[in-house]
Amino acid sequence: MQVSVETTSGLERRLIVGVPAARIDSAVDSRLQNAARTVKLDGFRPGKVPMRVVRQRFGESVRMEVLGEVMNESFYEAIQQQGLKPAGRPSIEPKSLEPGKDIEFVATFEVFPDVEAKDYGSIEVKKPVTKITAADVDKMIENLRQQRADWQPADRAAVSGDKANIDYLGTKDGVEFDGGKAEGSDLELGSGSMIPGFEDGIVGMSAGEEKVLSLSFPDDYHSEDLKGAAVEFKITLNSVTEKKLPEMDETLFEAFGVKEGGEEAFRAEVEKNMARELKNATKSRIKNQVMEGVLAVHADLQVPKALVSQEIEALRNQQMQQFGAMAEKLNAADILPDELFRENAERRVKLGLVLNELISAEGIKADEVKVRAALEEMAVSYEDKDEIINWYMSNPEQLQQIEGMVIEEEVVEKLLEKSKVSEETLSYEEVMSPPAKEAEES
């Protein structure tokens, strides 16, 4: 078998492979002889069909079948011979397939890049140092109460924070515009969900009252017809409801799993959950800084287009799941084009290549003790913790995800040892709020 390799551009390779005719002919003869033992043709007994007839009837189709298999086998033999690592499937183009002569084909494909060892000492990481204060706990408890608030009728004028049920009709130059009409619509005053001045105009109104508001749409409004337009809204306030927060009593405590110990135990449970979330957020913040540093160090690393395409498709499928049953009726590539995901896909592929090389170079494996610890931490919020752990342990695919997470944490630790790490004092709220770049990507 003759093999030659050309570098066409970047990571793309062009492999020219020549296969002796004898290999093809031998495989074709062998397959035809096997077929002759079982083939059934009119006028012949089973197994007694002459080879001349078998070759005449099936020779061409068998040869094409053998050619496909031999080219595939030869390709993998050739890349092993040349020490190449393809990234993605090859494009195989036959050049010479004439019967009785050596065949030749060209395989075009991309290879995995060589990830060179780098100095990670330039990576700078700010490690958050945070204490959960009593005020942080108070704010969290207030949020939990807000989540379980009830709306009750209010026999008074509307104030910010109330929910107003309204009918409204919007007009521009005396003509109703699209989307400017609703009946029985609930609106939380102060939410900022309507154009400026709309919600403020309802504050002070009482149930049954009508009012006309003269307003203007923002200059950057999404509708071209309404950008900066002066409009009027005729509003009828049907009813006003106010938010009633649950009392700090046993009913609220039990709703969050605290059955004994009263408010003190409830606060302790809230703070414990906050501490767990803070730990995870801190780890995530550190990891993101490390990964950004790795990307900067390997900024010149080329990534295979085939892998990027695969990652784009995975990200698109993930996004399409949000459309639920409607996703089947939509053309994913039309509503979510490749360019929407390309930057993130390239980033993820590059990180994957670098991290895999680091894992191999450092000989990092999933430590059983750390895997068990990770499972216990995940299961702590469940009532039957052991059942959750056993479920993961008995599901190889799920367990593999946990092992991957543990390995990734090990890689981060190794990189931190080589990075410049300093401490940064941050509040609980600052740590729990994702950095701007992370928020954009999510």
Contact 136, 126 (CB under 8 A): no
Residue 260 lies in a domain: yes
pLDDT at 434 over 90: no
Give the CA diameter of the chain. Answer: 102
Alpha-carbon distance of 371 to 364, in angstroms, equals 13
Same domain, residue pair 210 and 263: no
Number of domains in the chain: 3
Q: What tens digit of pLDDT does each residue of 222-237 get?
A: 889 999 999 999 999 9
Mean pLDDT of 115-139: 95
Q: What is the pLDDT of residue 436?
A: 55
Mean pLDDT of 180-192: 95
Q: What tens digit of pLDDT does each residue of 61-85 get?
A: 888 989 999 999 999 999 999 999 9
Q: What is the pLDDT of residue 263?
A: 95
Same domain, residue pair 227 and 283: no
Contact 144, 130 (CB under 8 A): no
Same domain, residue pair 295 and 371: yes
Q: What is the pLDDT of residue 441?
A: 52
Alpha-carbon distance of 247 to 262, in angstroms, equals 12
Residues 6+ apart with CB under 8 A from 121: 418, 419, 420
Residue 144 lies in a domain: no
Residue 219 lies in a domain: yes
Q: Which residues of 288-302 are buried (b: 16+ CB within 10 A; e: fewer)?
A: bbbbbbbeebbeebe
Q: What is the span of the domain harbouring residue 387?
A: 120-134+253-441
214 has which bridge partners? 232
Same domain, residue pair 95 and 126: no
Q: Two tokens at 39?
A: 């083939």
Contact 428, 132 (CB under 8 A): yes
Same domain, residue pair 286 and 373: yes
Q: What tens digit of pLDDT does each residue of 284-309 get?
A: 999 999 999 999 999 999 999 999 99
Q: Which residues of 114-148 are buried (b: 16+ CB within 10 A; e: fewer)?
A: ebeeeebeebebeebebebeeebbeebbeebbeee
Same domain, residue pair 260 and 335: yes
- Least confident among 32-41, 123-132, 276-285: 32-41
Q: What is the pLDDT of residue 218?
A: 95
Query: Which one is predicted more confidently, 54 or 368?
Result: 368
Same domain, residue pair 91 and 216: no
Q: What is the pLDDT of residue 439?
A: 46
Same domain, residue pair 293 and 410: yes
The CATH number given to whatever domain includes residue 29 is 3.30.70.1050
pLDDT band at 325; cut points 50, 70, 90: confident
The CATH number given to whatever domain includes residue 431 is 1.10.3120
Residue 354 lies in a domain: yes
Residue 340 lies in a domain: yes
pLDDT at 37 over 90: no
Residue 218 lies in a domain: yes
Alpha-carbon distance of 253 to 384, in angstroms, equals 20
Alpha-carbon distance of 175 to 163, in angstroms, equals 28
Residue 316 lies in a domain: yes
Q: Establish how many alpha carbons lie within 13 A of residue 304's alpha carbon, considering only the half-sphere containing its beta carbon.
A: 22
Alpha-carbon distance of 163 to 152, in angstroms, equals 9
Same domain, residue pair 257 and 169: no
Same domain, residue pair 277 and 359: yes
Same domain, residue pair 155 and 104: no
| Distance set, CA 133 to CA 141, 286, 421, 426 (Å) | 13, 22, 25, 12
Q: What is the pLDDT of residue 438?
A: 52
Same domain, residue pair 402 and 304: yes
pLDDT at 328 over 90: no
Residues 6+ apart with CB under 8 A from 182: 166, 167, 168
Quick check: helix, strand or coil at residue 112? coil
Mean pLDDT of all residues in the chain? 91
- Which phi-psi region, left, alpha or beta, contains residue 104 (left: φ > 0; alpha: ψ -120 to 50)? beta
pLDDT at 440 over 90: no
Radius of gyration for the chain, computed over Cα atoms and rounded to the nearest angstrom = 34
Q: Two tokens at 4?
A: 């030659």
pLDDT at 50 over 90: no
Residue 143 lies in a domain: no
The candidate with the shortest Cα–Cα distance to 204, out of 184, 182, 185, 189, is 189
The CATH number given to whatever domain includes residue 228 is 3.10.50.40
Contact 102, 25 (CB under 8 A): no
